[in-house]
Amino acid sequence: MVILDILIIIISLTLLAFISERTVRYASMLSELFGLSQMAIGFILLSVSTSLPELTVSIMASVRAEGGLAFGNVLGSNIANLTIIIALTILISKISILIKEENQKELVQFLFIASIIPLFVIQRGSLSPVLGIILLILFVYFSFNMSKKKAPEVKSLSSVKSTQKITVLTKFSISVFLIIIISTFTVGSSINIANFLGVPPSIIGATIVGLGTSLPELVTSIQALRKNMAEMALGNILGSCIINITLILGASSVFNFYPVNTTAASGIMFFTLLSTTFVWYVINTRKAINKTIAYILLLIYVFFILQELGFSIFIF
């Protein structure tokens, strides 16, 4: 039975990655077609689109009373985004990410502040409506704050004609629907695998599911960097992380009173703060994220995986 669940999660994550990449492409097309590419809403639309797998998986997990899986998926995805996704984006594209915009520094500062709030999960031992409301308020504040300034420009990753509005909108809607359906299989198989292995669902969510749901960010960022859209590449990753920690974890927490394994959550939270702090430091002190930084980020992710497998060099 567990072999079937492994096959299901592999297939579902592969489909999520493929369909999400198409969804992000349709979102960038819609931003261009409706004249949103120069507006904050275009940037937010792209960030939410890349976070759709995390959103659907986390909400499905909360519906099934698996707060640990939702918590692990959101923070695990952020750890993956800030380490292995940034690293692979640079190493695969063979292009450094230049840091030259104040928007990038503001995004990572906001992300750092938002990332501290989930510490309440460890203190309480569960997700809670109060945490959810706080995070959702932060999302509203983030969106409002972005609307008052020029957001990173959202350029279409493929050519699009003005006559294609209905077609692109239809494809975007179908993609979102498919992501929701596939996520139900991802959540169900993740819970079964966690039960079989005797580990907290948060560990499965933070590792296998977290990395799998981060693949859209990898594909989009590589495409952006290769098209000389460095600001979009980094902005997409940071924006997606902010959406994960505010909108997605917030929405998952509002109606969730179920316990979270605090030991597993502590390890995940440690690496969330470590990766966020390191990226914050790099963006504020360096002119570019180069190969050297990329290898350091990869090393952080390797330590995180070892931590979750029980081979930690840390105290958790």
DSSP H helical ranges for 205-290: 210-212, 215-226, 230-243, 249-254, 262-285
For position 292, what pLDDT does the model report?
Answer: 94
Helix H or strand E encompassing 98: strand 97-98
For position 216, what pLDDT does the model report?
Answer: 73
CATH number of 129's domain: 1.20.1420.30
For position 295, what pLDDT does the model report?
Answer: 96
DSSP 8-state code for residue 164 = G
Percent of the chain with pLDDT over 70: 83
Distance CA 261, CA 205 (A): 12
Q: Residue 304 carries which side chain, given as an amino acid letter?
A: F
Most confident of 53-62, 96-105, 211-220, 300-309: 300-309
For position 316, what pLDDT does the model report?
Answer: 47
Percent of the chain with pLDDT over 90: 14
Q: Are 261 and 141 in contact (CB under 8 A)?
A: no
* pLDDT-derived band at 39, boundaries 50, 70, 90: very low
State yes or no: pLDDT of 209 exceeds 50.
Answer: yes
Is residue 239 domain-resident? yes
CA distances from 139 to 87, 142, 216, 242 (A): 27, 5, 21, 8
Helix H or strand E encompassing 97: strand 97-98
Distance CA 72, CA 126 (A): 12
Is residue 266 domain-resident? yes
Distance CA 63, CA 83 (A): 29
The answer to which of 30-44, 119-133, 205-219, 253-267 has the lowest mean pLDDT is: 30-44
What is the residue-averaged pLDDT of the chain?
A: 79
Is residue 314 domain-resident? no
Q: pLDDT tens-digit profile of 291-310?
A: 999 999 999 999 998 888 77
* pLDDT-derived band at 219, boundaries 50, 70, 90: confident
Is residue 190 domain-resident? yes
Distance CA 209, CA 25 (A): 22
Q: Which domain holds residue 32?
A: 2-152+162-309
Number of domains in the chain: 1
For position 291, what pLDDT does the model report?
Answer: 93
Distance CA 201, CA 130 (A): 22
What are the structure tokens assigned to 283, written together? 């963006």
Q: What is the mean pLDDT of residues 118-133?
A: 79
What are the structure tokens assigned to 105, written together? 């520094």
* pLDDT-derived band at 19, boundaries 50, 70, 90: confident
Is residue 157 domain-resident? no
Q: pLDDT tens-digit profile of 248-277?
A: 888 888 876 666 666 777 888 899 999 999
State yes or no: pLDDT of 211 exceeds 90.
Answer: no
Q: What is the pTM of this model?
A: 0.82
* pLDDT-derived band at 65, boundaries 50, 70, 90: confident
Is residue 145 domain-resident? yes
Distance CA 203, CA 299 (A): 19
For position 300, what pLDDT does the model report?
Answer: 95
Q: What is the mean pLDDT of residues 209-218?
A: 77
The alpha carbon of residue 87 and the mean position of all alpha carbons in its chain are separated, in whole angstroms, by: 15
Q: pLDDT tens-digit profile of 156-178?
A: 545 556 567 788 888 888 888 88
State yes or no: pLDDT of 205 exceeds 70.
Answer: yes
**Of 288, 258, 309, 41, nearest in space to 150 by CA:** 41
Q: What is the mean pLDDT of residues 211-237?
A: 74
Is residue 35 domain-resident? yes
Q: What is the mean pLDDT of residues 31-44?
A: 60
For position 38, what pLDDT does the model report?
Answer: 45
**Of 303, 216, 218, 239, nearest in space to 268 by CA:** 303
